[in-house]
């Protein structure tokens, strides 16, 4: 899937498809087909789902290493225990992976499930009923799992729900009605105080809304009604936050004539709405139609578009202030990937994602793409220069160098999933030799996923990856 640099011309501007991507896995129907959910990386494996395929044609849960080896089907859905996991990503609490399906289960309306990362202990935790159907992944505040139903609630316009990780305590926190939003597709976002989400339709103009509510269901408020096509229409994805702003995408609308969707930014109170980028909507120029949400790392937003570029979708990046927009990769059709509908995952150096089509068997692929908009360079081809253990940990992580770090001083930075720096230190003195150990303490941080990055003082990358604090 590697290809040369590609210049894309439109409206007098030049965009450089500057990254190289590699196909890690081409699905065949027996091991899954049509992956639509985002991948999750635990520091060793990438985990994901496919909407179709597998032995019983109802989709699978799979894992694969970032180098493309070790691809394994962990679970094959068979309708009775869920079918067609189509939206969101798997959530990991350090013991179990949690996810949702849109069909199958006790009432054939989908379910919430959990499974251990080795594929054992699959459990159907909760079966949707009474018209309910989940279309987003679940998230957690450490006590409850939270999610959305596209259909369901009192008026069947969708709902926000919570359940305990063992499947008990199911509660509807909010039932939508057309005036305050209708049909939430995307996953929720939690900033420690509020849950934030979007609806596809409903609201004042029936173009969808951004809403927030507290984890007990109180304080439910529409903070933004999408007003017209210029600001984007009908968001399918949820939002991400850096603590001050919410960032998201819409698959249509925008400031261009063809209305290929937007990347937007808005304050957490709903003010300051800004279109950071309007996609052209021309399938053979700019990127077009972002179906999924954004990945926020270090001041950059990363995403995918279902169409655009050469017509088969793209990977793009943009700074949180709307500058430095770049098409990182342009999918060029079979046997390359075709039409990414999922968002992205990262280990701090590479981006990982899926496409719903293309690949050797035209059943979709898992891909790996360089992430280098900030000019950070690797100083070695060895991707395993740093071991981190224990990982997961309750807070204290040990970093061990597997080879000599060829610098006199270096920086260790840790970011949470919101892109906020939670740890920083400078290692001074003599060169760090093989088997050197450095310990960092995140005990004062909440449980969850963190990104670490080790760089020289000049910005050369030494190592990066994920930390999981239990």
What local confidence, expressed as pLDDT, does residue 399 receive?
80
Query: What's the rounded Cα separation, in Å, for the pair 253 and 288?
Result: 10
3-class DSSP state for residue 229?
helix
On whether residue 275 sits in a domain, the answer given is yes
How many beta carbons lie within 10 A of that of residue 168, not counting itself?
A: 9
DSSP string, 339-387: ---S--EESSSEEEEEESEETTTTS-EEEEEE--TT--EES-S-TTSEE
Distances (CA, A) of 126 to 116, 164, 173, 229: 17, 10, 16, 38
Domain's final residue, options 312, 346, 370: 370
421 and 329 share a domain? Answer: no
- The last residue of a domain, from among 322, 348, 370: 370
Q: Are residues 384 and 454 in the same domain?
A: yes
Are 334 and 239 in the same domain?
A: yes
Report the domain count for the chain.
2
In a domain, 6, yes or no: no
CATH of the domain at 424: 2.60.40.3080
Query: Residue 377 has what pLDDT?
Result: 37
Same domain, 401 and 336: no
Structure tokens at 414: 């840790």
Give the pLDDT confidence score for residue 234 in this predicted structure. Answer: 96
Give dist(CA 402, CA 234) in Å, integer.
49
Side-chain half-sphere CA neighbours of 181 within 13 A: 36
CATH number for the domain harbouring residue 349: 2.130.10.10
* Predicted pLDDT at 10: 30
Q: Is residue 7 part of a domain?
A: no
Question: Does one domain contain both 433 and 381?
Answer: yes
Same domain, 330 and 426: no
Residue-wise pLDDT tens for the chain (470 aa)?
333 222 222 333 333 344 678 999 999 999 999 999 999 998 899 999 999 999 999 999 999 999 999 999 999 999 999 999 987 789 998 899 999 999 999 999 999 999 999 999 999 999 998 777 777 789 998 899 999 999 889 999 999 999 999 999 999 999 999 999 999 999 999 988 999 999 999 999 999 999 999 999 999 999 999 998 899 999 999 999 988 999 999 999 998 777 899 999 999 999 999 999 999 866 556 789 999 999 998 789 999 999 988 889 999 999 999 998 999 999 988 889 999 999 999 987 899 999 999 999 999 999 999 876 443 333 333 444 677 888 888 889 888 766 555 445 677 888 776 566 788 887 654 444 445 678 888 988 887 778 887 776 655 566 677 788 87
In a domain, residue 412? The reply is yes
Q: What is the pTM of this model?
A: 0.79
DSSP character for 258?
Answer: T
Q: Is residue 440 part of a domain?
A: yes
3-state SS class at 164: coil
- For residues 281 and 261, the answer to whether their CB atoms sit within 8 Å is yes
Domain span at residue 57?
17-370
What CA–CA distances, in Å, run from 46 to 66, 168, 451, 456?
7, 28, 15, 27
Residue 226 and residue 93 share a domain: yes
Whether 2 is in a domain gets the answer no
DSSP, residue by residue, 122-147: -EEEEE--TT-EE-S--EESSS-EEE
Q: Which of 309, 335, 370 is the last residue of a domain?
A: 370
Same domain, 362 and 392: no
């Amino acid at each position: 899937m590697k290809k040369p640099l590609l210049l894309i011309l439109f409206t007098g501007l030049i965009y450089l498809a500057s990254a190289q991507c590699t196909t890690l896995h081409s699905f065949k129907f027996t091991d899954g087909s049509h992956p639509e959910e985002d991948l999750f990386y635990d520091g060793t494996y990438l985990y994901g789902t496919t909407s179709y395929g597998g032995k019983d044609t109802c989709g699978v849960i799979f894992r694969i290493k970032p180098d493309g080896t070790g691809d394994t089907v962990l679970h094959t859905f068979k309708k009775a225990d869920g079918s067609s996991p189509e939206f969101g990503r798997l959530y990991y609490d350090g013991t179990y992976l949690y996810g949702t399906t849109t069909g199958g289960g006790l009432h054939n309306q989908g379910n919430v499930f959990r499974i251990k990362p080795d594929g054992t202990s699959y459990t159907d935790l909760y079966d949707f009923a009474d018209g309910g159907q989940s279309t987003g992944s679940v998230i957690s505040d450490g006590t409850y799992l939270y999610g959305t139903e596209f259909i369901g609630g009192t008026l069947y316009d969708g709902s926000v729900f919570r359940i305990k990780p063992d499947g008990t305590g199911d509660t509807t926190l909010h039932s939508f009605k057309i005036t305050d939003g209708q049909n939430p597709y995307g996953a929720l976002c939690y900033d420690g105080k509020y849950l934030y989400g979007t609806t596809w339709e409903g609201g004042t103009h029936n173009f969808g809304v951004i809403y927030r509510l507290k984890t007990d269901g109180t304080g439910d408020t529409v903070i933004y009604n999408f007003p017209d096509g210029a600001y984007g229409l009908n968001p399918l994805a949820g939002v991400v936050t850096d603590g001050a702003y919410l960032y998201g995408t819409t698959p249509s609308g925008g400031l261009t004539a063809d209305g290929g969707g937007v990347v937007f930014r808005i304050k957490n109170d709903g003010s300051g709405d800004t279109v950071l980028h309007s996609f052209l909507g021309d399938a053979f120029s700019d990127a077009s139609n972002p179906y999924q949400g954004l990945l926020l790392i270090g001041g950059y937003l990363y995403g995918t578009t279902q169409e655009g570029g050469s017509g088969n979708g793209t990977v793009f990046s943009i700074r949180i202030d709307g500058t430095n927009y770049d098409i990182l990769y342009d999918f060029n059709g079979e046997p390359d990937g075709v039409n990414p509908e999922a968002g992205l995952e990262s280990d701090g150096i590479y981006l990982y994602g899926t496409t719903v089509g293309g690949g050797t068997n035209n059943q979709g692929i898992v891909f790996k793409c360089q992430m280098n908009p900030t000019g950070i360079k690797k100083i070695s081809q060895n991707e395993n220069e740093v071991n981190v253990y224990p990982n997961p940990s309750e807070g204290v992580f040990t970093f061990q160098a597997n080879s000599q770090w060829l610098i006199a001083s270096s920086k260790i930075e840790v970011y949470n999933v919101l892109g906020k720096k939670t740890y920083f230190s400078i290692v001074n003195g003599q060169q760090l030799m093989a088997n050197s150990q450095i310990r960092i303490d995140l005990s004062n941080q909440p449980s969850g996923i963190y990104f670490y990055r080790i760089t020289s003082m000049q910005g050369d990358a030494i190592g990066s990856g994920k930390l999981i604090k239990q």
